[in-house]
Amino acid sequence: MIIGVLGLKGSYSEKAAMQWIEKNGTNNAHILEYCGDIQDVFVLLKNGSCDIGVVPLENSIEGSVGVTLDMLLENDMTVIGETIVAIEHCLLSRGKKEDIKVILSHPQGLGQCRHFLKEHFPEAELRTTGSTSHAAKLATEFEEMAAIASPDTAGLYDLNIIMPDIQDMKQNHTRFIIITKPDSPAARSLMMKDGQEEACKTSIIVYLDRDRPGALYEILGEFARNEINLTRIESRPSKKVLGDYIFYIDLEGCISDAIIKDAIYNIRSKVGMLKMLGSYPMFDPYCESNRVYMEKSMPSTD
């Protein structure tokens, strides 16, 4: 099985992929295919160069990863799983703190450390990279460069941890999703089976007609009446005109449950577009067996 992940060796997406494999252990051997950016993961899946892809979806400090949301709308992919990774950004460099003039990271990494950057490096030049691990690799070039990336990348790219745990909030987690082409053998072998016991989540995208202002309320009503719990509702511009939105909704339950199937059937008639992203086992951050994934690998600096 070939797994497309965002970034280079040591990336958070690689960690997410390894976590997910460990928990959902297929015994298949797997190869990681490292991708320069999120779009590339989707491209590789589309052209069959990888079987599953692992991309970040949302972060607890900086929110949604817009590119991933857009790609889920634009491409025909099925979500088959999710996992949460503890993020522990460090400032990594070959040089000394006082020499740092350029700081590189993924836009999410820069956003998660916004206050830190403003406080400690107000004059530094900020460069965006396709992933945090790519930033680490580039930072090896000059001593005046630093990357915001995981402590794992320090060892991999021979960088020093200049400052550990630099995100604006000590608690920092990113949710990753595992995606496949709907008709691929990987999708079929890894998708949830009917009758599988685990708690399940379903993700959909809906586009409401602009001229029906109460439509969002009606949709939420359909879920509320059936006691279907929504875990997330996120809007994203339709990109047509300002003030026109698409909604990404995650709900508890599986599309094979009659109650979920009926609710989604009813909603379809009320919206301009409804796209099913898939049903998949929920990652419960409070479950004992998942605790290890929620904790940082380094001692906190508190």
From 96, 97, 118, 188, residue interacting with a copy of itself (rule: CB under 8 A): 118
- Directed axis angle between helix 12-23 and helix 132-139, to 10°? 130
Q: Among residues 121 and 223, whose Cβ is nearest to a copy of itself?
A: 223
Least distance from C-beta 145 to a copy of itself, angstroms? 11
Ramachandran assignment for 10, one of left (phi > 0), alpha (psi -120 to 50 degrees), beta (any other): left
Pairing of strands 2-6, 31-35: parallel
How far separated are the first and last CA of the chain, in Å rounded?
Answer: 41
Both tokens assigned to 128: 């965006």
Q: What is the dihedral of CA 226, 231, 237, 242, to 10 degrees?
A: 70
Least distance from C-beta 118 to a copy of itself, angstroms? 7
Which stretch, 26-34, 44-52, 151-159, 172-180, contacts a copy of itself (CB under 8 A)?
172-180
Distance CA 68, CA 6 (A): 11
Query: How far lies 230's CA from each of 17, 52, 169, in Å?
Result: 25, 26, 26
Distance CA 180, CA 81 (A): 10
Least distance from C-beta 162 to a copy of itself, angstroms? 20
DSSP summary character for residue 231: E
Least distance from C-beta 41 to a copy of itself, angstroms? 13
The mark string for 53-92 relative to a copy of itself (x by CB under 8 A, - otherwise) is -----xxxxxx--xx----------------x--------
Q: Among residues 30 and 257, whose Cβ is nearest to a copy of itself?
A: 257
From 245, 274, 276, 296, residue interacting with a copy of itself (rule: CB under 8 A): 245
Please name which of 274, 50, 279, 281 lies closest in space to residue 180, comparing C-alpha atoms. Answer: 50
234 binds a copy of itself (CB under 8 A): yes
169 binds a copy of itself (CB under 8 A): yes
Least distance from C-beta 147 to a copy of itself, angstroms? 14
From 30, 236, 275, 296, residue interacting with a copy of itself (rule: CB under 8 A): 236
Binders of a copy of itself among 263-292, rule CB under 8 A? Answer: 285
Please name which of 127, 82, 283 lies closest in space to residue 199, comparing C-alpha atoms. Answer: 283
**Residues β-bridged to residue 146:** 93, 103
Query: How far lies 63's CA from each of 52, 134, 140, 211, in Å?
Result: 24, 21, 29, 28
From 26, 28, 198, 230, residue interacting with a copy of itself (rule: CB under 8 A): 230
Q: Among residues 99 and 234, whose Cβ is nearest to a copy of itself?
A: 234
Q: Is 274 helix (H, G, I), strand (E, B) or coil?
A: strand
126 binds a copy of itself (CB under 8 A): yes
226 binds a copy of itself (CB under 8 A): no
97 binds a copy of itself (CB under 8 A): no
Residues binding a copy of itself (CB under 8 A): 37, 39, 58-63, 66-67, 84, 107, 110-111, 114, 118, 125-129, 168-169, 171, 173-175, 213-214, 216-217, 220-221, 223-224, 229-237, 239-245, 285
